[in-house]
Structure 1
Amino acid sequence: MELKRLAVPAVTALLVLATGCTGATVQGRPGASGVRDPLFPRAGNGGYQVEHYALDLAYDPADGQLHGTAVITARAEQGLSSFNLDLSGLKVEGVDVQGAGARFNRTGTELTVRPAKDLKKGEVFRTTVDYGGRPKPVVDPDGSREGWITTGDGAVAVGEPVGSMGWFPGNHHPSDKASYDVTVTVPDGYEAVSNGQLRSRREVGDGRTEFAWHSPEPMASYLATVAIGKFKVTTGRTPSGVAVYDAVAPGEAAGSEAALKRLPEIVEWGGAKFGPYPFGTAGSIVMPARTLAYALETQTKPVYSGAPDELLVLHELAHQWFGNSVSPKTWKDMWLNEGFATYAEWLWSEDHGGVSAQRRFEAFLAGDTSVDDQAGGDWAAFPPAVPAGPDHVSDAPVYYRGAMVLHRIRQEVGDERFFDLLRGWAADHRYGNASTEDFTAYAERRTGHDLKKVWDVWLYGQGRPKA
């Protein structure tokens, strides 16, 4: 993605570079400033893989100021004389690497760090970044807003595809997954919610409360979230023992009640269809209506803008298997997220007395909106494995034609092998990353069928496919 670059005065840059330690003779080389993603080439960074993020944040909705310390534990994949972190806006107040002051400079969304001593290939190193300011939303190529979004009495952080750089420095590409600990301090009376398990909640004085959240399973940074507000919190467990934590804006509580009551049932249903639920916790964050123009499958606790209905909860929970546990290698593999979650909606309907997946597939072919109101849309505008550009990565073909690809596989191989494929895919790629090429090869191997015609016509073919 061509991100807007913010000018950095030359004098300021020189002053920043002059701070910290001067370093030894260069033995490594700079890490790349992007991973050359086909749609968002400047996203992420090269030369290292993050193992863990420890984020310590303080936020007061009254003044909108965010103060943060990020401790990033990573492994060098090459000798590094310098490396980059992605960060949009916010002022960097200091950086150290392995406990020693490091030189750094900013160019747009790139924070370049030069350690006092070169890092060796294979070395596990810790980078600490102190930063703060008033975070601003990140605007996507399609015009949608992400990053740190303020509300009337709080805020929420969402990151698909690159908005997480708007609230913490990191390697912001889904190919680099890590575990997280997120500590958030807010004024008394507010709740602070993040991914995973709430380890502690304690009053720390001066009218503030600290919330500490822990996510042990690998997570792509776009799935990280923090939500701050005066939420109504409810907790429970699914029949199989998965902890449930729902945080709902008071004004959305009545409208959310029916759908969220079905959340434990949906988790159990998904476990039967796709294999064991991949995380230790589940739940939801319901923000005031119109906070966002979309819902997002943030790991373990999807974010909803206003009260969700049952199918939306189903869709975002299906992502916990497809998109969150098994994450895309690049953003052009987005259909592996959205096509799978959309097809999960079709399966849920089929299993609960609604329209069958076959009938829905036929409705899309016929443009029959009496069966599905999305069937009249431009679902065939481009092949789902080849999005037309970064501004089309969330368009209808990625969702609906992606779901139709899966149904075509089901038609070809039969139910037994198809559902074995879904469970095997989720199990064998659990907590990892996968590409479209990985999936097509896996599907043929797992089912024992030649699916080339499905790929050629439905996944990669131009024009409107026919049955």
Structure 2
Amino acid sequence: MRNRTRVTGPAAVLFGTAAALTLGAPTASAAPRPAGVPGPETLGDPVFPNLGNDGYRVSAYHLDLAYDASTRLVDATVTLHLTTTEALTRFSLDALGLDIRTVRVGGRNASFEQAGEKLRITPATPLPAEARATVTVEYGADPRRSLAHTAWVPTPDGFAVCPQPHSAHTVFPCNDHPSDKADFTFRLTVPSGLRGVANGRLTGTENLPGDRTAYAYRSRSPLATELVQVTVGDYVIKERQGPHGLPLRDVVPAARAEALEPALALTPDIVRWVEARLGAFPFETYGLLPCNSDDVNAFDFTGLETQTLTLYKPAFLLQEEKSIGSHLMHEVVHSYFGNSVSPGTWADLWLNEGHADFYGLLYRYERGWADSLGLTTMEARMKDTYARGDQWRATSGPVAAPNEATLFDSQRYLGGVLVLYALRNEIGEDVFNAVERAFLTRFRNRSATTDDYIAVATEVSGQDRSGFLRDWLYGTRTPRMPGHPDWTVTPVTPALVAPQHRASRPHDNSATL
């Protein structure tokens, strides 16, 4: 841990912290003591080591975006409320492809530079440890800008955003890591005739000069940056009621609202099914956003679980129920695993995707719908998956040890389901269900790691499960399946074991399709 030095003078007044006077003036031969250090530009994520920043934690963001339909550009201001964890002479935010105009810290202009995907900020006065500070960044953005990776999805009438896993900072400067969840409010100013929508609930609408409308939103629960949704377009809002009075709102392209209604009407029963297994829905609202784009280049996956509002490709939702129902369930389950409880690191993605596929498959098989392999039971699908276990471990790594290229491989999806299936067989269905609920309750509105899940499984089951789960999650060979000693693993084919250099996108490999 770095030494922390208290700051005297204006900084102590500005940030409301206690400051100790330095005894004696420095002499010509004595170097002045540093008022802090530059904050680390990483949180040490094992998959994305350059993502996130240390030295502070963010408690809240206010995102103010104004969209110009004639230029298709965005003028924006983001305000962050943060608390330092050590004395800082400089700190950084993640930012890529944004035209930064001004930065203020505590209301005072700060110097800044953009270096790679970092926005380095040097406040007028160093920040003491454990100080609260307000950071305001004014910037411009072009949703159509070509970048190495981007969250922007341009549409004919506006845009939506797909931040997962590491692209929220192409939309707004932030500490872009799921371990630093924060409160969010939004103000979206758009031409009248279009609608701006964000996470959470609408808190106000204001008509402005120049035939413009501002929409304000607030999320009741904290968000990880990768779960932020901001969309502008020619949308209508369709409201309905879910179980226990849960407000449901769908944000639907006006021209396709009638055609999409059969899919949207499925949500109440889907939420009811998952609540019976995982407990009350964790957020203040839920709904679907069929983004007004079927462009496979801009939007090359089926769905994405931005918090309280799942993004979908509209054409996918025009299919019959048995073709989309289990995927709708997959995304609703993400409200619990992935959103309410976010991954502590991106190596913990299997907690999100394994659980979402696990319950999505259960939902499918309960209804007698065959899966993509023509199988109709969980046991049959898991036997098939088990046979592939060693091959997947060779090509994609163990379930809980991905790298950037293999992050969204089937190993995190079906491989994660196999781990959960093995645990349920080992400890019994009732104890397994108790583990699931205990984990969700303990880490609600927080981030959790694989170690956290192992600890809860051990505590709730009353027996140390760490060796069992670590073999399944980190082993290079697939363990024996409890209850199925006859199941066999297909030997690894050396010709299929090769480095992967592709950039996977979320949900390409969902088993529920």
TM over 0.5: same fold?
yes
Question: For residue 101 of structure 1, what is the aligned residue in structure 2?
Answer: 109
* One-letter amino acid of the structure 2 residue matched with residue 358 of structure 1: E
Q: CA 1:89–1:228 in structure 2 vs 1: closer, same or farther (change >3 Å)?
A: same
Question: For residue 59 of structure 2, what is the aligned residue in structure 1?
Answer: 51
Question: For residue 292 of structure 1, what is the aligned residue in structure 2?
Answer: 299
Contact 1:200 1:212 in 2 (8 A): yes
Question: For residue 162 of structure 1, what is the aligned residue in structure 2?
Answer: 166
Long gaps (5+) in structure 2: 1-31, 318-323, 370-375, 482-513
Given the alignment of the two structures, is residue 265 of structure 1 paired with residue 269 of structure 2, yes or no? yes
Question: For residue 342 of structure 1, what is the aligned residue in structure 2?
Answer: 357
Cα displacement (A) at 1:146 = 3.6
Cα displacement (A) at 1:136 = 4.9
Contact 1:413 1:449 in 2 (8 A): no
Measure the CA separation in 2 of the matches of 1:73 and 1:272.
Answer: 37
Contact 1:405 1:454 in 2 (8 A): no
- More moved, 262-271 vs 444-453: 444-453
Question: For residue 223 of structure 2, what is the aligned residue in structure 1?
Answer: 219
Long gaps (5+) in structure 1: 1-23, 368-374
Cα displacement (A) at 1:399 = 0.3
Select the structure that is richer in strand.
1
Cα displacement (A) at 1:460 = 1.4
The equivalences for 1:341-380 within 5 A come to: 341-354=356-369, 355-365=376-386
Secondary structure in structure 2 of the residue aligned to 1:219: coil
**Equivalent of 1:414 in 425, 428, 431:** 428
Measure the CA separation in 2 of the matches of 1:139 and 1:311.
Answer: 33
Measure the CA separation in 2 of the matches of 1:29 and 1:378.
Answer: 44
Contact 2:243 2:271 in 1 (8 A): no
**Equivalent of 2:343 in 318, 328, 331:** 328
Measure the CA separation in 2 of the matches of 1:199 and 1:464.
Answer: 51
Question: For residue 280 of structure 2, what is the aligned residue in structure 1?
Answer: 276
Task: Work out the number of aligned pairs and report it.
Answer: 431
Cα displacement (A) at 1:259 = 2.5
Contact 1:35 1:43 in 2 (8 A): yes
Measure the CA separation in 2 of the matches of 1:272 and 1:113.
Answer: 48
Measure the CA separation in 1 of the matches of 2:393 and 2:70.
Answer: 44
Contact 2:393 2:477 in 1 (8 A): no
- More moved, 397-406 vs 354-363: 354-363
Q: CA 1:456–1:233 in structure 2 vs 1: closer, same or farther (change >3 Å)?
A: same
* One-letter amino acid of the structure 2 residue matched with residue 196 of structure 1: G
Contact 1:89 1:135 in 2 (8 A): no
Contact 2:326 2:361 in 1 (8 A): no
Measure the CA separation in 2 of the matches of 1:314 and 1:110.
Answer: 37
Contact 2:111 2:121 in 1 (8 A): yes
Cα displacement (A) at 1:254 = 4.7
The equivalences for 1:9-408 within 5 A come to: 26-136=34-144, 146-250=150-254, 252-287=256-291, 288-290=293-295, 291-294=298-301, 295-306=303-314, 307-308=316-317, 309-354=324-369, 355-365=376-386, 381=395, 382-387=397-402, 389-408=403-422
Question: For residue 445 of structure 1, what is the aligned residue in structure 2?
Answer: 459
Q: CA 1:448–1:225 in structure 2 vs 1: closer, same or farther (change >3 Å)?
A: same
For 1:182-238, what per-residue CA distance to the aligned partner results, in whole angstroms no more than 9, with x for missing partners?
Answer: 111111111111100011223212021111110121110010011111123201221
Measure the CA separation in 1 of the matches of 2:325 and 2:242.
Answer: 17
Secondary structure in structure 1 of the residue aligned to 2:355: helix
Measure the CA separation in 2 of the matches of 1:459 and 1:193.
Answer: 39
* One-letter amino acid of the structure 1 residue matched with residue 251 of structure 2: A
Given the alignment of the two structures, is residue 424 of structure 1 paired with residue 438 of structure 2, yes or no? yes
For the aligned residues, what is the CA RMSD? 2.2
Q: CA 1:450–1:359 in structure 2 vs 1: closer, same or farther (change >3 Å)?
A: farther
Secondary structure in structure 2 of the residue aligned to 1:392: coil
- The sequence identity of aligned pairs, in percent, is 34
- More moved, 248-257 vs 432-441: 248-257
TM-score (norm 1): 0.87
Measure the CA separation in 2 of the matches of 1:25 and 1:200.
Answer: 49
Measure the CA separation in 2 of the matches of 1:138 and 1:338.
Answer: 29
Secondary structure in structure 2 of the residue aligned to 1:39: coil
Measure the CA separation in 2 of the matches of 1:312 and 1:248.
Answer: 18
* One-letter amino acid of the structure 2 residue matched with residue 420 of structure 1: A
For 1:79-105, what per-residue CA distance to the aligned partner results, in whole angstroms no more than 9, with x for missing partners?
Answer: 111110111112111111111111111
Question: For residue 19 of structure 1, what is the aligned residue in structure 2?
Answer: none
Contact 2:181 2:224 in 1 (8 A): yes
Contact 1:90 1:135 in 2 (8 A): no
TM-score (norm 2): 0.80
Measure the CA separation in 2 of the matches of 1:138 and 1:362.
Answer: 43
Q: CA 1:146–1:310 in structure 2 vs 1: closer, same or farther (change >3 Å)?
A: farther
Cα displacement (A) at 1:390 = 0.5
Secondary structure in structure 1 of the residue aligned to 2:455: helix
For 1:400-434, what per-residue CA distance to the aligned partner results, in whole angstroms no more than 9, with x for missing partners?
Answer: 01011001111111111011111111111101111
* One-letter amino acid of the structure 1 residue matched with residue 340 of structure 2: S
Measure the CA separation in 1 of the matches of 2:436 and 2:146.
Answer: 34
Measure the CA separation in 1 of the matches of 2:147 and 2:108.
Answer: 35
Cα displacement (A) at 1:457 = 3.9
Contact 1:86 1:169 in 2 (8 A): yes
Contact 2:438 2:456 in 1 (8 A): no
Measure the CA separation in 1 of the matches of 2:190 and 2:76.
Answer: 12
Measure the CA separation in 1 of the matches of 2:354 and 2:118.
Answer: 32
* One-letter amino acid of the structure 2 residue matched with residue 303 of structure 1: L
For 1:244-275, what per-residue CA distance to the aligned partner results, in whole angstroms no more than 9, with x for missing partners?
Answer: 11012245435532232121222222222112
Cα displacement (A) at 1:62 = 2.9
Cα displacement (A) at 1:378 = 5.2
Structure 1 or 2, whichever has the larger Rg, is 2
Measure the CA separation in 2 of the matches of 1:94 and 1:212.
Answer: 23
Measure the CA separation in 1 of the matches of 2:419 and 2:262.
Answer: 32
Given the alignment of the two structures, is residue 436 of structure 1 paired with residue 450 of structure 2, yes or no? yes
